[in-house]
């Protein structure tokens, strides 16, 4: 008893808890005060230094004034880029809605669309209430956007002398010091990424999930689960600091979110599908699966194309800077990986399952996109293609593993597209990053380099991040779904499931003219 107490006190002495708050500038809600001469300093190879601006003020007054405009324009280019890319990612919601609805049955189309639709609205509010604050409250200034220093509160625990950032403390309801033009832009960009995660489980849980319990889930994931892990990787939290603290490469690096967005979504999708159980009739008595073909392949493929289009915003936008000319490389790596994923999935299906199944090829296309999302800024084109080829094969193998070995019913392959390939993307960065980009990332000098280019420790950081994500998200979401099921039942009744969820859950039939009812023939 005494030994336990002494041990406990000893540990407490090593851990100190603090909410760090560093000095921030005044918030700028109109945007008029953001972007000036200071944003010109050191931004190109031959840019003036701060001393230059000071010393030359007397001899070249016009130049100094112009520097102010130029600095403003630089910030403007970056903000416009960030916002436009954010709008593209928002459009991916339509892509998810169309892909999921096309790959599931007609009788549930209204409900599937309804979930993908409401996850945007609810996720938005949940994120505005506290999700953004938890994720980005302590990220500090966003240099490419010339401000956002109002995000200066991070809750940190200090263990054995090292700081572990856990969550942000500024930005609730986007109020107070966070009512700022730059911070609002960051909110928009980050929110649409969060929504991508939130919409992934609607795929694995389609065709049998009650709308009520889905709404509770949407709040929970947008307010707490996504933001916590996102803080650790992108908000300046402890996974990002693995490099500074423990010498693991540049800390965990995830450029646009293979883990933060897709792995989180895929793992949540897995937990949800496990708790929910398979659709009625999905598995025969002996456990072999029955086919349940999607009802609208053109809709699904259109959705997949919309996702690929939005992904340009997803990946290239993550520079948060139109002036960062790596965006061309990012965009091209993205498209190459998608093509490679589609091709390898096609070959796999043709070889092992007789025909090039377009639904699996479309999944392979998306898998390539998911896998390149982390490494897209750090690899060359050959690596991007290899990463995509492997993603397509992993996707096919995973779909069959999840369905046949784990006996989990995933109507659209969400677990395999986002979960498995999200993990692959993060690890692929730890292998293929070639050092040509990322100097100074997470406070570590030099470019980001992976195992094949000489840095083993980066792979270690990536592995730590993947394991953390899987353990954290799965545990929290599994417990959440189990508890939620007791309060608001997750699954619709057998009658509703057989008839179709549309009328019972969302009060509209997706295709009323295809069912015989007198109200249609007026």
Partner 1 sequence: MKKIEVIIKPFKLDEVKDALNKIGVTGMSVSEVKGFGRQKGHKEIYRGAEYMVDFVPKIKIDMVVSCDMADPVISTILEHASTGKIGDGKIFVSSVEKAIRIRTGESGKEAV
Q: Which of the stretches 151-159, 204-212, 282-290, 454-462 binds partner 1 when contact is defined by CB under 8 A?
A: 282-290
Number of amino acids touching partner 1 (CB under 8 A): 18
Q: Applying CB under 8 A, which of residues 82, 149, 359, 383 lies at the interface with partner 1?
A: 359
Q: Report the nearest approach of partner 1 to the CB of residue 275 (Å).
A: 23
- Give CA–CA dist 266/66, Å, rounded: 49
Residue closer to partner 1, measured from CB, 305 or 400? 400
Q: Which residues of 373-392 are buried (b: 16+ CB within 10 A; e: fewer)?
A: bbbbbbbeeebbbbbbbbbb
Work out which of 49, 290, 493, 517 binds partner 1, going by CB under 8 A.
Answer: 290
DSSP string across 295-320: S-HHHHHHHHHHHHHHHHHHHHGGGS
Measured CA to CA, the distance from residue 128 to residue 173 in angstroms comes to: 5
Assigned token pair, 100: 């999921």
Question: Quick check: 293 binds partner 1 (CB under 8 A)?
Answer: yes
Q: How far is the CB of 395 from partner 1 (least distance, A)?
A: 11
Q: Does 354 bind partner 1 (CB under 8 A)?
A: yes
Sheet strands side by side (includes 15-21): 15-21, 153-159, 162-168
Site string for partner 1, 411-430 (x = CB under 8 A): --x-----------------
Regarding 350 and contact with partner 1 (CB under 8 A), the answer is: no
Q: Is 347 in the site for partner 1 (CB under 8 A)?
A: no
- Residue 491 CB, shortest distance to partner 1, in Å, is 22
- Closer CB to partner 1, 172 or 401, in the complex: 401
According to DSSP, the residues that pair with 153 across neighbouring strands are 21
The answer to whether the CB of 449 falls within 8 A of the CB of 458 is: yes
Cα–Cα distances (Å) from 430 to 30, 239, 265, 435, in that order, read 41, 14, 21, 11
Check residue 356 for interaction with partner 1 (CB under 8 A).
no
Q: How far apart are the first and last CA of the chain?
A: 80
Residue 472, burial from CB neighbour count under 10 angstroms (0-12, 13-18, 19+) = middle
Binding residue (CB under 8 A) for partner 1 from 52, 357, 485, 499 = 357
What's the CA angle centered on 222, arms 144 and 97, to 5 degrees? 95
Taking the least distance from each CB to partner 1, the nearer of 237 and 411 is 411
Cβ 481 to partner 1, closest distance in Å? 25
304/506 with CB nearer partner 1 = 304
Instruction: Map residues 366-405 to x or -, x wherever contact with partner 1 holds by CB under 8 A.
Output: ---------------------------------xx--x--
Parallel/antiparallel/unpaired status of strands 162-168 and 15-21: unpaired
> Stretches 345-353, 378-386, 438-446, 453-461: which one binds partner 1 (CB under 8 A)?
345-353
299 binds partner 1 (CB under 8 A): no
Report the C-alpha gap between 344 and 463 in whole angstroms: 25
Q: Are 444 and 232 within 8 A, CB to CB?
A: no
What's the token pair of residue 5? Answer: 């107490």
**With binding defined as CB under 8 A, does residue 353 bind partner 1?**
yes
- Catalog residues that contact partner 1 under the rule CB under 8 A: 288-293, 349, 352-355, 357, 359-360, 399-400, 403, 413
């Amino acid at each position: 008893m005494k030994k336990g107490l002494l041990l406990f006190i000893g540990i407490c002495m090593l851990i100190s808890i603090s909410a760090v708050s560093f000095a921030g500038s005044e918030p700028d809600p109109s945007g008029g005060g953001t972007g000036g001469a200071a944003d010109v300093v050191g931004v190109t190879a031959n840019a003036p230094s701060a001393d230059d601006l000071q010393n030359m003020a007397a001899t070249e007054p016009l130049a100094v004034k112009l520097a102010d405009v130029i600095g403003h324009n630089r910030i403007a280019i970056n903000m416009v880029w960030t916002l436009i890319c954010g709008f593209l990612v928002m459009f991916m919601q339509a892509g998810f809605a169309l892909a999921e609805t096309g790959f599931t049955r007609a009788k549930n189309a209204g409900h599937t669309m309804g979930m993908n639709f409401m996850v945007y609205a609810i996720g938005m509010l949940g994120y505005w209430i506290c999700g953004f604050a938890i994720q980005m409250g302590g990220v500090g200034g966003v240099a490419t956007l010339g401000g956002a220093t109002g995000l200066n509160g991070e809750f940190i625990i200090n263990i054995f002398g090292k700081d572990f950032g856990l969550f942000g403390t500024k930005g609730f309801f986007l109020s107070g010091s966070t009512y700022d033009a730059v911070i609002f832009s960051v909110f928009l960009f980050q929110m649409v990424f969060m929504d991508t995660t939130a919409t992934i489980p609607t795929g694995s849980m389609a065709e049998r999930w009650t709308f009520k319990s889905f709404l509770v889930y949407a709040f929970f994931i947008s307010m707490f689960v996504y933001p916590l892990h996102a803080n650790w990787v992108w908000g300046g939290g402890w996974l990002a600091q693995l490099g500074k603290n423990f010498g693991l490469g540049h800390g965990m690096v995830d450029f646009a979110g293979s883990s933060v967005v897709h792995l989180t979504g895929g793992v949540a999708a897995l937990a949800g599908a496990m708790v929910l159980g398979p659709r009625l009739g999905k598995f025969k008595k002996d456990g072999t699966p029955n086919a349940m073909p999607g009802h609208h392949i053109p809709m699904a493929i259109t959705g997949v194309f919309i996702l690929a289009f939005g992904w340009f915003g997803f990946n290239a936008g993550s520079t948060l800077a139109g002036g960062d000319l790596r965006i061309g490389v990012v965009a091209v790596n993205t498209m190459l990986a998608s093509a490679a994923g589609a091709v390898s999935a096609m070959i796999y299906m043709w070889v092992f399952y007789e025909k090039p199944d377009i639904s699996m090829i479309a999944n392979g296309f998306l898998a390539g996109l998911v896998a390149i999302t982390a490494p897209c800024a750090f690899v060359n084109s050959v690596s991007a293609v290899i990463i995509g080829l492997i993603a397509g094969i992993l996707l096919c193998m995973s779909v069959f593993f999840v369905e046949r070995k784990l006996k989990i019913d995933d109507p659209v392959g969400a677990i395999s597209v986002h979960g498995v390939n999200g993990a692959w993307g993060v690890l692929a960065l730890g292998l293929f990053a070639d050092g040509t980009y990322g100097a100074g990332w997470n406070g570590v000098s030099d470019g980001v380099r992976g195992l094949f280019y000489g840095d083993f420790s980066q792979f270690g950081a990536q592995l730590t991040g993947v394991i953390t994500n899987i353990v954290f998200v799965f545990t929290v979401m599994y417990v959440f779904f189990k508890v939620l099921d007791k309060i608001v039942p997750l699954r619709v009744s057998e009658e509703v499931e057989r008839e179709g969820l549309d009328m019972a859950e969302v009060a509209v039939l997706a295709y009323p003219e295809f069912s015989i009812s007198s109200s249609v023939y007026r």
